[in-house]
Amino acid sequence: MFPEFSLRYARLPERFYLRFDPVPVPEPRLVAFNRPLAEALGFDLTTFDEQRAAEWFSGNVVPPGADPVAQAYAGHQFGHFNPRLGDGRAVLLGEVVDREGRLRDIQLKGAGMTPFSRGADGRAPLGPVLREYLVSEAMHRLGVPTTRALAAVTSGERVFRRVPEPGAVLARVASSHLRVGTFQYFAARDDVEAVRTLADMAIERHYPHLLGPERAEADEGERYLALLEAVAERQAALVAKWMGLGFIHGVMNTDNCAISGETIDYGPCAFMEAYSSTMVFSSIDEQGRYAYRNQPWIAQWNLARFAETLIPLIDDDQEAAIEKATAVIERYETRYEAEWLGVMLAKLGLAGEEEGDRALVEAFLEALAAGRADFTLAFRRLSEALQEDAPALLELFEDSQALRTWLPRWRERLAREAASPEAVAARMNALNPLYIPRNHQVERAIAAASEHDDFGPFEALRGVQAEPFSEQPGCEAYAEPAPAAERVLRTFCGT
């Protein structure tokens, strides 16, 4: 059933990882399987067997051709550097080439206590596995670069966090699991050749244009500087997409910053409902370091840490290398602002950009904040107010005065683009989702599965999220904010 593994990472020198076979679980049961993703990866589903799949995706049986490893990495966690983290509960089975010729990692998360576990049990509770499955697949459907969920398997054992919970294993797919923290691990050990190896792998795998004929004459230092620039570009675009969806990652440590530009590690993540730029959900983010409004600048901070690892590769003259890398990091702000403005203008139905557009966007966000309006529904229902005030939009606002003042400005700006209201509405509704994985709905699905072994709510939510921009009759409740009694104000990592 599995496609052929290529084992690129497992063929690196052994200081990059520790070989580790997943620890078997007593009663593996497949509870979710992403058939479209499996087909895209090249799985042969004509021979699909659910029990065999449960054995493979739980780690009880190593798939043919796999060579499991736990990857080494370090990381800044809430600003504090830990030189040795690594995969404490995950194993990389290997890489496969998908049907489009792209290399993809397949990793098992919750596969047992590895040598990097630092005293933890190496397991995953069912709740965080289902959360990552739902939210990562929703992000994919929303057009955000992300790791993806291939399968979820219950283990038949209990794991202990705040309370005993059913155990599970997630099969995760990524363009790679190279992180800023992977580079930091070797930079902290002054292992320049290992950093060079990682940089070359990142270029070959994620930025092959840096190896094109036009760069044949470029020296190595220029290529590694170009890598830094390319990673910064992707991070700017990624975080702008997060901001446009009201998504809060919750734990933007450097070990959760992927070199590929994908969203990785959905621990205490959440989608904002009532708009507030200072919103924090993560129970472990007590100082608000990773609050919604801070995400762009934390990404820049993480990129600066990445730049530090590349200094010896960029130029033999350290001062010159620092100057070049600093210029790239400083350009991030301008790049991010352009990405963010592009995302937000598109959400407002604007195809072009004029002077004053940023102020228009900021005024709408201020109206959202003043009215305590739901972020997702306010943007979605805005398309109904193209010609006159829409009751469904106004009812989202506790105080709609700022919105009423703003709407004529917006309509006047749209009129200068001479597009029909129908065309603008279609454009907006293709970008502003109706359905997101709202916290209370995710928690309902987790509670039903964890407490009653009922995966019906999980499957229903999964089905709705597959078409986030399309109205689905009978699914109106999935678009609504949480009732007061079900509001989720704190999310937990689950590790």
- pLDDT tens string 299-358: 999 999 999 999 999 999 999 999 999 999 999 999 999 999 999 999 999 999 999 999
Confidence of residue 83 (pLDDT cuts 50, 70, 90): very high
Asked if the model's pLDDT at residue 284 lies above 70, the reply is yes
Question: Read out DSSP for 271-293?
Answer: E-SB--TT---BTT-TT-TT-GG
Q: What is residue 492's predicted lDDT score, i.e. its pLDDT?
A: 78
Confidence of residue 447 (pLDDT cuts 50, 70, 90): very high
Q: Is the dihedral of CA 106, 147, 53, 100 positive or negative?
A: negative
Q: What is residue 215's predicted lDDT score, i.e. its pLDDT?
A: 63
> Which residues, 6+ apart, have CB-to-CB distance to 324 below 8 Å?
225, 314, 315
* pTM more than 0.75: yes
For residue range 145-169, what is the model confidence (pLDDT) as tens digits? 999 999 999 999 999 887 899 999 9
Helix (H, G, I), strand (E, B) or coil at 100: coil
95-99 mean pLDDT: 97
> Which residues, 6+ apart, have CB-to-CB distance to 77 below 8 Å?
85, 253, 255
Question: What is the rounded CA–CA span in Å between residue 354 and residue 344?
Answer: 13
Structure tokens at 265: 């590690």
Q: Which of 87, 255, 265, 285 is catalytic?
A: 255
Structure tokens at 298: 């934390």
Asked if the model's pLDDT at residue 495 lies above 60, the reply is no
User: In 127-274, at which residue ranges do the beta strands (DSSP E only) sit?
Assistant: 148-160, 164-174, 247-248, 270-271
Question: What is the rounded CA–CA span in Å between residue 473 and residue 471?
Answer: 6
Closest to 182 in 3D by CA, of 164, 165, 202, 163: 202
Confidence of residue 2 (pLDDT cuts 50, 70, 90): confident
DSSP 8-state assignment for residue 45? G
Asked if the model's pLDDT at residue 493 lies above 80, the reply is no
Report the half-sphere exposure of 342 (CA within 13 A, side-chain side): 12
Alpha helices for 348-434 (secondary structure H): 357-371, 375-382, 391-394, 401-415, 421-429
Closest to 313 in 3D by CA, of 403, 416, 192, 402: 192
CB 428 within 8 A of CB 347: yes
41-50 mean pLDDT: 94
Kindly calculate the radius of gyration of the chain based on its CA atoms and give it in whole angstroms: 23
Helix (H, G, I), strand (E, B) or coil at 353: coil
| Stronger pLDDT, 266 or 486, i.e. the higher one | 266
Helix (H, G, I), strand (E, B) or coil at 65: coil
Helix then strand count (H, E) for the chain reads 15, 12
Q: What is residue 490's predicted lDDT score, i.e. its pLDDT?
A: 79
**Worst-scoring range by mean pLDDT, 24-28, 442-446, 491-495?**
491-495
Examine the residue annotation and report whether 255 is marked as an active-site residue of this protein: yes
> Which residues, 6+ apart, have CB-to-CB distance to 168 below 8 Å?
31, 110, 124, 125, 126, 129, 130, 152, 153, 154, 155
Q: Which percentage of the chain shows pLDDT scores above 90?
A: 91
Structure tokens at 62: 């190593």
159 strand-pairing partners? 165
Q: How far is CA 2 from CA 46, 264, 272, 320, in A?
A: 11, 23, 38, 48
CB 468 within 8 A of CB 433: yes
Question: What mean pLDDT is reported for the chain?
Answer: 95
Confidence of residue 218 (pLDDT cuts 50, 70, 90): low
Q: Which percentage of the chain shows pLDDT scores above 70?
A: 98
Confidence of residue 47 (pLDDT cuts 50, 70, 90): confident
